[in-house]
């Protein structure tokens, strides 16, 4: 696409007022790129729990702001200092993980992917292998990168046990697949019938219903693990008040719990920390190199993302209704540009 072919205006789904429904507006297509910027024609944009936090005003986002920090598409323009990404490349977009000097986070404090075009930092964007589809790539920009890093952060070796608390959600079903691909034994805990079914579908070695209660969950998991000790490490993905404590309780003494969920307060009974020496480790999204290793793993092992597709930006209200309905399996995405999905079939995109 030449500069002359890039339109001046585009449609975008925006937060106009906190705690109010999204609004679809016509806004300018980003026209000036900083040296490390790329302009991406969005193929697919994905919804994330963080989007509801933005809408609620948790981050103090300056409004109006285009939503979604999970997107995939094709590069149509690059900044003067971009060397490793070129026009025509395919990729998911996101921002740096721990940098304190960034100008903004896509879809959180700067305009995001719920639009026909999005501007991103090339240094924090990852080119897609031909086998990885736009439909999978959009959720991977946050959900995939986050849960992939959580598995890496456990430091577990092949054959050891990991537990995901909240295994049947957007991050959880990816975590189960990543862990299995790395040769780990997987326990999935969820409190919804839909989540339990999804956990089982994606190959968890043990699926546990959180509604049975902490005591029953701990016994079931200890009975299934070597020495009746519990899992070697756990990952907390659920925001329920009891989730972090449950993750610690099912983890063996001296084990590690990785905290991913972002409730206002993370609550863990003191006995888990003091008497059982559970180490709690927070984690954000993957680095650029970790992201590349995630995409390589997906292409090698055929890992897939469970998506609920909505076609067109005007379907945002239907998407929000599904997400807040409590019955969703996997991720909700908006197909912004169907033509790109048709084109990628020619290069073998299938995962």
Q: Render pLDDT for 24-36 as a digit per residue (tens, 0 to 9).
A: 999 999 999 999 9
Q: Whole-angstrom Cα distance, residue 201 to residue 20?
A: 36
CB atoms within 10 A of CB 207: 21
| Cα angle for residues 71, 73, 79 (degrees, 5° grid) | 100
* 90 and 134 Cβ atoms separated by less than 8 Å: yes
φ, ψ (nearest 5 deg) of residue 219:
-60, -45
Given a contact cutoff of 8 angstroms between Cβ atoms, the answer to whether 34 and 103 are in contact is no
User: pLDDT grade, residue 93 (50/70/90)?
Assistant: low
pLDDT in tens, 189-200: 999 999 999 999
Give pLDDT, residue 74: 97
Beta-carbon contacts of residue 331 (< 8 Å; ≥ 6 apart) = 46, 47, 48, 139, 143, 170, 305, 306, 307, 308
* Whether the predicted pLDDT of 98 surpasses 80: no
- The C-alpha atoms of residue 135 and residue 333 are separated, in whole angstroms, by 8
Look up residue 336 and give its two tokens.
């912004």
Burial tier of 204 (Cβ tally within 10 Å: 0-12, 13-18, 19+): buried
The pLDDT of residue 296 is above 80:
yes
With both helix axes pointing from N to C terminus, report the angle between 145-154 and 288-301 in degrees, rounded to the nearest 10. 100
Q: pLDDT-based confidence at 6, cuts 50/70/90?
A: very high
- Residue 141 burial (CB count, 10 A): 32
Which residue spans within 17-85 are E strands per DSSP? Answer: 23-28, 37-46, 65-66, 70-78
d(CA 294, CA 175): 11
Closest by CA position to 6, among listed 116, 138, 85: 116
Domains in the chain: ranges and CATH = 9-142+304-347 (3.90.180.10), 144-282 (3.40.50.720)
- Tens of pLDDT along 300-328? 999 999 999 999 999 999 999 999 998 88
Q: How far apart are the first and last CA of the chain?
A: 26
162 and 233 Cβ atoms separated by less than 8 Å: yes
pLDDT for the residue numbered 327: 85
Cβ neighbour number for residue 292 with a 10 Å cutoff? 14
């Amino acid at each position: 696409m030449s500069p002359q072919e890039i339109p001046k205006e585009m449609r975008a789904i925006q937060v106009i007022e906190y705690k109010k429904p999204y609004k679809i507006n016509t806004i300018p297509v980003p026209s000036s790129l900083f040296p490390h910027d790329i302009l991406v024609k969005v193929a697919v944009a994905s919804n994330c729990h963080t989007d509801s936090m933005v809408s609620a005003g948790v981050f103090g986002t300056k409004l109006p702001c285009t939503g979604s920090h999970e997107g995939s598409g094709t590069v149509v323009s690059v900044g003067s200092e971009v060397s490793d990404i070129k026009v025509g490349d395919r990729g998911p977009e996101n921002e740096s993980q721990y940098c304190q000097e960034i100008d903004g986070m896509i879809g959180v404090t700067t305009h995001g992917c719920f639009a026909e075009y999005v501007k991103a930092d090339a240094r924090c964007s990852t080119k897609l292998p031909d086998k990885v589809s736009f439909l999978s790539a959009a959720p991977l920009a946050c959900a995939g990168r986050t849960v992939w890093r959580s598995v890496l952060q456990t430091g577990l070796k092949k054959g050891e046990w990991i537990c995901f608390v909240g295994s049947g959600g957007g991050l959880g079903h990816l975590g189960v697949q990543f862990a299995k691909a790395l040769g780990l034994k997987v326990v999935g805990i969820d409190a919804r019938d839909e989540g339990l079914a999804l956990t089982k579908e994606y190959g968890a070695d043990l699926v546990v219903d959180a509604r049975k209660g902490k005591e029953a969950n701990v016994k079931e998991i200890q009975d299934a693990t070597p020495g009746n000790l519990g899992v070697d490490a756990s990952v907390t993905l659920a925001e329920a008040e009891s989730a972090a404590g449950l993750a610690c309780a099912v983890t063996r003494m001296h084990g590690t719990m990785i905290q991913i969920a972002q409730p206002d307060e993370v609550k863990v009974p003191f006995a888990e920390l003091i008497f059982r020496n559970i180490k709690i480790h927070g984690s954000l999204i993957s680095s650029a190199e970790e992201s590349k290793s995630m995409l390589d793993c997906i292409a090698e092992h055929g890992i897939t993302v469970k998506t609920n597709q909505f076609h067109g930006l005007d379907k945002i209200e239907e998407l929000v209704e599904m997400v807040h309905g409590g019955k969703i399996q996997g991720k909700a995405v908006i197909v912004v540009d169907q033509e790109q999905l048709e084109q990628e079939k020619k290069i073998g995109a299938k995962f």
